[in-house]
Copies of this chain bind each other. A is one copy, B any other.
Amino acid sequence: MSAVFASLGMSLDGFVAGPNAHPGNPLGDGGLRIHAWVEEVETWRERQSMTGGTDGTRGNQDDTIVRDTFERAGAYIMGRHMFAEGEIGWPDPPPFRAPVFVLTHTPREPWVRQGGTTFHFVTEGPAAALELAREAAGTKDVQVSGGADTVRQFLDAGLLDELQLHLAPVVLGAGTRLFDGVSPELHLHPVGAVSSAKVTHLTYGIASLRSEPDTRTTTHETGAAA
């Protein structure tokens, strides 16, 4: 069965967004510092209908990781706040190029965009959205895009198989912390770490959904992305 994963940028002090975040300021004050690395990544820029940036085919591992993450996702789930922010900010075609299931209390007809992205609005909660996303993803994986509240909902409900954290080497000091309110009972296990000169990519399995920790061995390059 396809995996359910989340992939978030986080500061060293645990913030995934700065203070005063709202649809006009989606990352919050200073939040761009958490995501500065991805702004330079060619795959991300291309998905945002921007040109330039680094290129994974030339060995930039940040780009490779972003591309692999986009390619493994066959469907997305997001909260209504993230959608409200994206509805303003995303280009058409939006970056997803796949069905997106939006958790909301307000029924709405599907919103078809260019490039394969259709937003579906789900009022029956996370489990129902996941069932629809799994069906839409087929053999690919389901990405819980965010925001932090939505990722916490899936963590608390035991619906997440994998958590990717892109740890930015910055201290934010204020904002929204991913793990605030998450149960100390949450059992993660590290399955990979890749460090570039700009960010450290951490991958965790959710132990509660596995019989034992994943102990596969992989090789990583460190530091050569700049």
Contact B193 A197 (CB under 8 A): no
Contact B221 A197 (CB under 8 A): no
What separation, in Å, do the CA atoms of A167 and B193 have in the docked complex?
Answer: 11
Tell me the minimal C-beta distance from A63 to chain B in angstroms: 16
Contact A215 B197 (CB under 8 A): yes
Near B by CB (< 8 A), chain A positions 28-48 give: 30, 33
Measured CB to CB, the nearest residue on chain B to A217 is B224
Which DSSP category, helix, strand, loop or mixed, fits chain A's interface?
loop
Q: Known contacts A14-B13, A220-B220, A226-B213; is A190 also within 8 Å of B198 by CB?
A: yes
Partner of A169 from B30, B204, B219 at Cβ < 8 Å: B204
Q: Known contacts A184-B170, A204-B169; is A193 also within 8 Å of B220 by CB?
A: yes
19 new A-B pairs (CB below 8 Å) besides A13-B180, A13-B182, A215-B225? A12-B179, A13-B14, A13-B177, A14-B14, A30-B184, A169-B204, A170-B184, A171-B179, A190-B200, A190-B222, A190-B223, A192-B195, A193-B200, A193-B220, A214-B223, A215-B224, A217-B223, A219-B222, A220-B220
